[in-house]
């Protein structure tokens, strides 16, 4: 049986450093990873990230899931005639597909590969 879980919620910003300072000050969030244009906060749930980045246009929200069987997800989407992009290489050595939900929101599903850090394994 395929494993699937929520991986991250990513808010996009023109100034991730400024956003990091805001979330640290306003909500007391603890920054776990500071890579300048990517800020990752601890959520209190291991394996679930809250990110601020400049990867996408400002004000865009990306919700990502992580799975151990990307091709099973692809089969499900194909069975429902859901159009998607990928699979393609993604950050942290993962493979990803991108599609839109029934309300037009962008959803990503990632699968770690042997190039991914061990903490990303599902």
- Report pLDDT digits (tens) over 38-93: 999 988 888 888 999 988 777 778 889 999 999 999 999 999 999 999 999 998 89
3-class state of residue 80 by DSSP? coil
Q: In the Cβ-directed half-sphere of 4, how many Cα atoms lie within 13 Å? A: 14
111: DSSP letter: E
> How far out from the chain centre does Cα 92 lie?
11
Give yes or no for a contact between 41 and 31, defined as CB atoms under 8 angstroms apart.
Answer: yes
For the entire predicted model, the pTM comes to 0.76
Query: Nearest CA to 92 among 110, 64, 116, 69?
Result: 116
């Amino acid at each position: 049986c395929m494993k699937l879980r929520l991986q991250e919620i990513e808010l996009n910003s023109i100034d991730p450093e400024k956003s990091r300072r805001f979330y640290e000050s306003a909500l007391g969030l603890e920054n776990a990873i500071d890579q300048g244009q990517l800020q990752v906060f601890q959520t209190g749930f291991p394996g679930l990230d809250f990110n601020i980045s400049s990867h996408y246009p400002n004000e865009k929200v990306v919700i990502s899931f992580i799975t151990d069987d990307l091709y099973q997800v692809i089969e499900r989407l194909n069975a429902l005639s859901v159009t998607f992009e990928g699979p393609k290489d993604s950050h942290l050595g993962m493979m990803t597909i991108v599609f839109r939900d029934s309300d037009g929101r962008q959803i990503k599903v990632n699968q770690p590969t042997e190039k991914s850090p061990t903490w990303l394994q599902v």
